[in-house]
Structure 1
Amino acid sequence: MKKIISIILISISLSFCYAQDDITVLSLNDFHGQVEPNKNMVGAPKIASFIEKYRKTHPNLVVVAAGDNYQGTAISNISHGDVVNEFFDYIGLKYSAVGNHDFDYGQKWFKHWYKTSDVRFLAANIRYVNDALSGYIVRFFTEKYSLDYIKPFGYQTLPSGKTIYFIGLSTLETPETTAEKNISNLSFTNPVIAANKWIKYINDYKKHDIPKPDTIVLLTHIPTDQDNTNIFFSKRKDLNGESEIYAVVNNVKNISAVLTGHSHKFVNGTKNGVVVEQGESQGKDISVLHYDCHTTNRCVVTPEVVNLAKATKDLQPNKQVQAIIDKYKDSVKDELEKVITKAPVALPQHGQDNFYNSPLVYTFADIVKNQTDSDIGLLNGNGVRRSLPKGDITYGMIYESMPFDNMIVTFDIKGKDLLDVIKHSIIQKGDVTTGVLAGADIQLDKSANIQKVVINGKPLKKNKIYKLATMDFIYTGGDGFSFRGVSNYKDTNITVRDMIVNYWSKYPANIAKGWQSIKAQN
């Protein structure tokens, strides 16, 4: 009984302590348009209820996002993110980092969001590449910023009188995870240099007539992961042999926390005295920073990541936010609920043999291959965002599975160059391979080295010309792909999604034969 009372008292004490926060930050990352509930994703109405309740006990609250806010669901894509921004405005979300997928609709939509929403995007390390050198030098030394509708930093002064600053940073992976046509005029620069520059600017607050900073947070779309030893890491080594997150935490000074995104991981801990957080994705979790600025002469931060499924279990969905969603759903309801085909069995998106062999991605690639009369169909594994169930397949389901407006392109390529493409394709990326190839049977040894490649029943020949169909995203360098010796290039001006819808409107959604095309020795 004493133990139970102690636990209750501790819980009350912690709640009281956090209620006395001088600053509280809530951060959603990689929301991807998930305004409706789906399994352990609670949806916007319940998140709104959670934040409303939370704000009552945490009056010094600021809400932010770590990028990739919109792309991912049909209702968000069709509205170009407007449904998400109306939700963000309702919950008082102030600032957002710039995620790679926030460019998916084109840069013009940042201007639209700036005019129609109160959300402000922050990115200190994005610049226009066509800036004249003299102009760049002038801007650098006068500390002005050149990017339209995106600022390097923002701040919020709270009822406690304390001021928190956010400096935005985008990942250096953006150029290879975003369609080249959407960012061709932009340069993504060293986040360490960019952050330190603007920290110096902020700390010289009197000169620049801005409020004195009580704490500075990096609001980023930089990938992070965490192992059981509380070590943060990323497989990418982009900055002098270090991952982005290591480089930032090791070399950016005078910050209290780094809010991260992009990798869709649960991260909660500290490195070098700096808090690093991420809350998976799509509203599964929300990152929290609790600041005590009155016990000592500095603001001390305590991190927390809240599981929203548990935290909202007894909360009712917010009716006003539900009405926002219903408004957008009603405008596209007939289109999204139209049944395109039937699936005799479920089509999983993830690899079924470890990370190899995705039934759904292979099936999509096979449709692209056959409909373009190509030898090979190539799609990226992570470009397919959801599995499809057995039974009726609606247009909305296909849209959410293939949300990107990537065009199909075809070209001829020599076998020796195709082999390099295949080698890059079989690298693991999350729960699937980087690329999924229909038309190629691949045998691997125990070390995952290619032993044999068979194209449409015949061994690959290095000097033979093969016709390959893929997406413009991949062709222009997305996911690290590169192509040499290409000839007879053609842009079909048909999106992958439209080709799939057109095909499935005539045929059932069967898993393509030969989908287990990669054979790996154990």
Structure 2
Amino acid sequence: MFKQFKLKKWTSWLITLVMVLSFATPLTVSAAGEDTKIVNIISFNDYHGIVKESGKDVGIAKFVGAVKEFKKENKNTIVVAGGDLYQGTALSNLNYGAPITDMLKELGLVASALGNHEFDWGADKITNWSKDGGFDFLASNIYDKKSGKPVDWAKPYKIVEMDGLKVGFIGLATPETTYKTKPTIVEGLEFRDPVKAAKEWSEKLRSGELKEGKADVVIALTHLGSEQDSKTKEITGEAADLAKANVGVDAIISAHTHMPVSGKVNEIPVVQGNKNGRAYVKLEVAFNTKTNKVVIEPAFIDLSAAVKTLPEDEAGKAIASKYEEASKAKLDEVVGTTDKDLTHDRFNGPSLLGEWVTEVMAKTANSQIAITNGGGLRCPVEKGNITVGKLYELMPFDNTLFTMELKGSDLKRVIENGIDNKTIGWVAISGVKVKYDLKQPMGDRIYEMTLKDGSKVDMNKYYTVVTNDFMATGGDNYDFKGAKNLKDTNLPIRDALINDLRQVKNLSVVKASFLESGVKPATTPELKPVDKKVVYTVKAGDCLYLIGQKYNIPYKKIAEINNIKNVDLILIGQQLVIPVN
């Protein structure tokens, strides 16, 4: 009897424990029941034209292999991308993105957001990339300014049906595109509020009013930025703001900021797959067909940690080899050497690389001063041989030398925009020594500017300046208002660097510290003349008129200072304050 009671007691306790654990540790999506459909969405972003394996960049052959392996193990998989796919390496740039288009087709990409760098070679390329790659570009918030209608080379949404589950994707471009690509290319476009666009299209996708019917799951496929704190795991940025806005999406795929992101904001999964194909992200979608409830688990899959052991896909390898062979002779040409590393990190202060580049710009354009944006320099240059291919990596964007005359006060304003700018990074300059104080508010950090000859920059005098066409037309929010004699030379800066290296051959760059940190001198207060005064004691026979004559001051002024109401009444022994010069 006791044994039977004890057994029942233990059985009851075990059942209770299992129930408690089942609540404490919910079932994973993969362990869902037969009423649940499982679909995986994998995405990558900011691929930036990577063709060959290099360092942490896995290259086309291994990236295609990794994605194909995942698709093999997970048959219901949708592949999408977050934009900025083509621009960035010599092999891609020389072929206007053709190797990447071939890669996307091999991956079976169904849709991509539009990144700001998709516009670098003009919007006309977008249609052909989409057609040749067999996928759609999505952007619900890009409108033509003249017609007021959505652009016709991108779709606002796409519904992809997988295993009977309808997944709706809403495309969203970052409004930062207006100043993070060449402004003249996008000047006819309007980048509307992503929050409003997402809300509008999520409602349409869920209503069933669209021709494809009602979407079961709605995903924002975006080029909106996000960042995740490595310790707290908090996610911030444009994508996080979208999640907090409750626009009706089930998950958000972000891009643009080149960050590893995987987590939730406002209970909405937000992901981003770093950059350059070093990783991809996964959204594992579980949809219950009885309750119509969806559960999505985000994940970040790092490929860079195992880059050496990743297998190569033969089709991907053939794509890379095709374009390597076609461009090899040009890219491998050594045009010069450097005896030291030319370091650069646009968010880590002025760089040696930036000084060299701007010195060459000034020399080529015969200008006193050169200015370029740190974000336009995409990598450092290592000690040793410098090839044409390396210079394409350094400056993948075909920005040209742009000359002008700029007044000292305007020059100061321009450089101020690139002093520890947390959004765009540091400016690079040459020809003018600038002292700044980071403790001062942005826009008021420069306190001294001198030319190479030691003379101070005159705020009212014009100087010859060279920059790049991206900045000259408002890129990175640089404002050259007030400039005169503006001229686009149409000479790519990269070509200027190649030509100069061929002449110099061996570089030995010495840091000139054109940008120098210091402490802004305290402002000396304006000295006002000190009022002098005497105290006069009234004697017998005195009157204000006579006292005023004695000190050369109007008698009414004496009365006013001493608060005398009746100018004819003063008393012997009375003390009067008399101002004197």
* Normalised TM-score (structure 2): 0.80
Q: 1:393 matched to which residue of 2? A: 386
Q: Confirm whether residue 187 of structure 1 aligns to residue 190 of structure 2.
A: yes
**Greater Cα offset, 499-508 or 121-130:** 499-508
| C-alpha contact 2:29 2:297 (8 A) present in aligned 1 | no
Q: Secondary structure at the match of 1:428?
A: coil
Match of 1:452 among 448, 455, 480: 448
1:437 is aligned, of 429, 448, 451, to 429
Q: Could you tell me how far apart the structure 2 residues matched to 1:436 and 1:453 are?
A: 15
Per-residue CA shift, 1:207-231, capped at 9, x if unaligned? 3331331111101101111223333
In our comparison, the structure showing a higher alpha carbon Rg is 2
Answer yes or no: is the 8 Å Cα contact 2:60–2:316 preserved in 1. yes
What is the total number of aligned residue pairs between the two structures?
484
User: Counterparts of 1:520 and 1:40 in 2: how far apart (Å)?
Assistant: 33
**2:220 aligned residue (206, 218, 221):** 218
Deviations along 1:152-189, whole A, 9 cap, x unmatched?
1112111x211111101010100111002221221111
What is the deviation of 1:433?
Answer: 3.8
One-letter amino acid of the counterpart of residue 108, structure 2: G
**1:504 corresponding residue in structure 2:** 501
Q: Distance in 2 between matches of 1:161 and 1:273?
A: 26
**Cα shift readout 1:58-101 (whole Å, capped 9, x = no counterpart):** 11100111000011001111111110011111111111000000
Q: From 395, 398, 402, give the equivalent of 1:405.
A: 398
State whether residues 350 and 358 of structure 1, in contact with CA within 8 Å, keep that contact through their aligned partners in structure 2.
Answer: yes
Decide whether the 8 Å contact of 1:414 with 1:485 is kept in 2: yes
State the partner residue of 1:344: 339
Runs of 4+ deviating beyond 6 Å: 18-21
1:267 equivalenced with 2:261 (yes/no): yes
CA–CA distance in structure 1, aligned partners of residues 399 and 458 of structure 2: 30
The separation in 2 between residues aligned to 1:21 and 1:310, in whole angstroms, is 32
Q: What SS does the corresponding residue of 2:297 show, helix, strand or coil? A: strand
Structure number with greater CO (CA < 8 Å, separation at least 6) is 1
Which residue is 1:428 aligned to? 421
1:490 counterpart (487, 492, 505): 487
Partners of 2:186 and 2:386 in 1: CA distance: 33
* Distance in 2 between residues matched to 1:311 and 1:270, nearest whole Å: 26
Q: What is the distance in 2 between the residues matched to 1:94 and 1:509?
A: 48
User: How much has 1:484 moved relative to structure 2?
Assistant: 2.3
Aligned equivalent of 1:42: 58
SS at match of 2:293: coil
The superposition leaves residues 325-346 of structure 1 with CA deviations (integer Å, 9 ceiling, x where unpaired) of 1111111111111111111222
CA distance in 2, matches of 1:225, 1:199: 24
Q: Which amino acid aligns with 1:22?
A: I
Shift in alpha-carbon separation, 1:369–1:344, aligned structure 2, 3 A? same
- Tell me which residue corresponds to 1:170: 173
Query: Cα distance 1:193–1:40, how it changes in 2: closer, same or farther (>3 A)?
Result: same
Equivalent of 2:239 in 235, 242, 245: 245
Is contact 2:29–2:285 with CA below 8 Å preserved after alignment? Answer: no
TM-score by length of 1: 0.88
TM-aligned CA deviation for residue 511 of structure 1: 5.2
Q: 1:79 to 1:27 in 2, by over 3 A?
A: same
2:470 corresponds to: 473
Q: Which amino acid aligns with 1:355?
A: N
Q: Which runs of 5+ in 1 are unaligned?
A: 1-12, 140-145, 235-243
Give distance in 2, aligned partners of 1:337 and 1:329.
Answer: 10
Name the amino acid aligned to 1:450. Answer: I
Measured after TM superposition, the shift of residue 313 of structure 1 is 5.3
Matches within 5 A, 1:98-109: 98-109=114-125
Question: 1:521 and 1:486, CA in 2 relative to 1: closer, same or farther beyond 3 A?
Answer: closer
The equivalent residue for 2:362 is 369
- Equivalent position to 1:157, from 156, 161, 166: 161
The alignment status of 1:256 with 2:250, answered yes or no, reads yes
Distance change >3 Å, CA 182–CA 323, structure 1 → 2? same
Instruction: Give the direction of change, closer, same or farther, for the CA distance of 1:329–1:475 in structure 2 (3 Å limit).
Output: same
Q: Identify which range, 113-122 or 303-312, moves more after superposition.
A: 303-312
SS in 1 for 2:46: coil
Q: Which runs of 5+ in 2 are unaligned?
A: 1-26, 520-581
